[in-house]
Each structure stands twice: as C-alpha cells, then as structure tokens.
Amino acid sequence: TDRMLEIVAQEQPVRPAAVLIPVVDHPEPTVLLTQRSPNLSSHAGQISFPGGKIDATDASPLDAALREACEEVGLRREFIDPVGYLDLYGTAFGFRILPTVAKVKPGFTLEINEAEVVDAFEVPLAFLMNPENHQIHTKEFRGMDRSYYAMPFAERYIWGATAGILR
C-alpha cells in the first residue's frame, strides 16, 4: 500500500532498480522468468524478472535491465527488442523498480548464472494477464498486515513485486 511505502521510505533510502519483462515472441507469447538462487542474501528462491540495482556504470535503466538479463541468464541483446516502460513500482524494501517490456526473438540459448539464478522458465502471457489467476494474499511484515499479489503457476509461486508488476 502507499502508506506502507511511506513508512519504509522514512526508514531506508530509495534504491533504484530495473527489470526486464522479456515477452518471448512465440505464436502464443510467453514471459521469461527466473528463480533466484536459494543462497542469495535477499529474496532467495523467489520468482523474479531478470534485473536488479541500477549501477553507476549503467547508461540508463534499460542498460541496467539488459546487463542484468545477460549476467543472470545469458540473454543476449541481439535477441531483445525493447518496447517501452511500465509505471515505476515501489517495494516495501525501498526499491523503486522501472520495468522494461521487451519483445524477445525465439531461438536464444540461456546460460544460467547459478550464483544468482537456479532456473529460468516461460509462462504463457495469457495466463499472467488473466485476472482469474491473480490472487491477493496477506502476511504480517514489520508489525503490520501487508497484502500482496500472487499468481501460482504449476509448481511455481509467483508473488510480491513480480506478481504486482505483472498484474
């Protein structure tokens, strides 16, 4: 909620980040998602988009999203056609994420960076865009009930910022 974001903003600095929403251009489009390594210090094991913090060396949020996609799963830029940005998305951890939508040409080969990602998989875009698949769950966080979106898909649990951006 906006109130939760205000409280968090008082406690920690804003952290700019960018993610790539890679829409694979199949006859029935899919979205490429990753499962983060269980060994990471934050968001371990969660389903996410390729992406991360915007570094000082990144020329733009797009550059950060493309760099992270290459670092995490080996998705090379020649397969990616950026389409545009979605609205800035704020998280309870102080991240301000700029989602970049891109059309991805099929035929790419992924190279998983196991230090960051344990798996990459595609989910049908039609499933993700269907409101019947959008759930709202509630969990206590820092003494307050916090609601978040979730989209269970097969054995995967897409939730939090990833589900919030997708819906």
Model confidence pLDDT, tens digit, residues 123-163: 999 999 999 999 999 988 778 888 888 999 999 999 888 99
Is residue 165 in a domain? no
Is residue 76 in a domain? yes
Q: 66 pLDDT band (50/70/90 cuts)?
A: very high
Is residue 11 in a domain? yes
Is residue 149 in a domain? no
Nearest-angstrom CA–CA distance, 32 and 48: 9
Is residue 117 in a domain? yes
CATH number at residue 30: 3.90.79.10
Q: Report the 10 Å Cβ neighbour count for 162.
A: 27
Is residue 136 in a domain? no
Is residue 62 in a domain? yes
pTM of the shown model: 0.86
Q: Containing domain of residue 26, as a range?
A: 2-125
Q: Report the 10 Å Cβ neighbour count for 128.
A: 22
